[in-house]
Amino acid sequence: YARDNHKPEAVSICGYDHALWLDFIFSHNVQPQLGKNAVCMVYGYPACQSSLARINEYNSQITDRVEVFINGIELGNGYYELTDPKEQCRRFDEEIAIRQIRKRPASVKGKHLIAALEAGLPECSGIAIGLDRLLMLLANSASIDDVLNFPIHRA
């Protein structure tokens, strides 16, 4: 893929990591084409890319997650919440281990989320809309820096 698509940086970024390759290929080849003529919703994300989402009851390889795209920009990300505290702890542990392997800054378990799950969080879902991305679309801007009060690298 990297050689055929003139993306030599992909190998150093992704290595042998399946999830990173999925994300790289999607973000560089698929996402820019989404929502060119209409709102586009992509759903059924791979389980390896959905740490907080519920696994689909008919296909354990995907989650009940959706992203909304307009003009190649991800406007929103939503999913049915995972409500099993043991499964969520397992996913947090897996994510922490992967970050250590990749030599990335450590993340911590979401103790408050786990406590809410243990207390019996009911079935729920939601979607988060990026206000900055919505402003980009409304302003017909090609760069997120055009709609931020300060550059993203200073955030």
Residue 108 lies in a domain: yes
Residue 103 lies in a domain: yes
Taking residues 120-147, report their average pLDDT.
91
Mean pLDDT of the chain: 89
- pLDDT of res. 4: 67
The structure tokens listed for 87 are 């499964």
The structure tokens listed for 47 are 């389980």
Residue 6 lies in a domain: no
The model's pTM is 0.81
Asked whether the predicted pLDDT for residue 52 surpasses 70, the reply is: yes
Taking residues 58-87, report their average pLDDT.
95
- pLDDT of res. 66: 97
Sheet holding 65-70, edge to edge: 40-43, 65-70, 73-80, 125-129
Residue 90 lies in a domain: yes
CB atoms within 10 A of CB 126: 10
Q: Is 68 exposed, middle or buried (0-12, 13-18, 19+ CB in 10 A)?
A: buried
- pLDDT of res. 103: 85
- pLDDT of res. 106: 80
Residue 106 lies in a domain: yes
Residue 133 lies in a domain: no
CB atoms within 10 A of CB 92: 19
Taking residues 32-36, report their average pLDDT.
93
Residue 146 lies in a domain: no
Domain range for 100 is 82-122
Residue 39 lies in a domain: no
Number of domains composing the chain: 1
Asked whether the predicted pLDDT for residue 77 surpasses 70, the reply is: yes
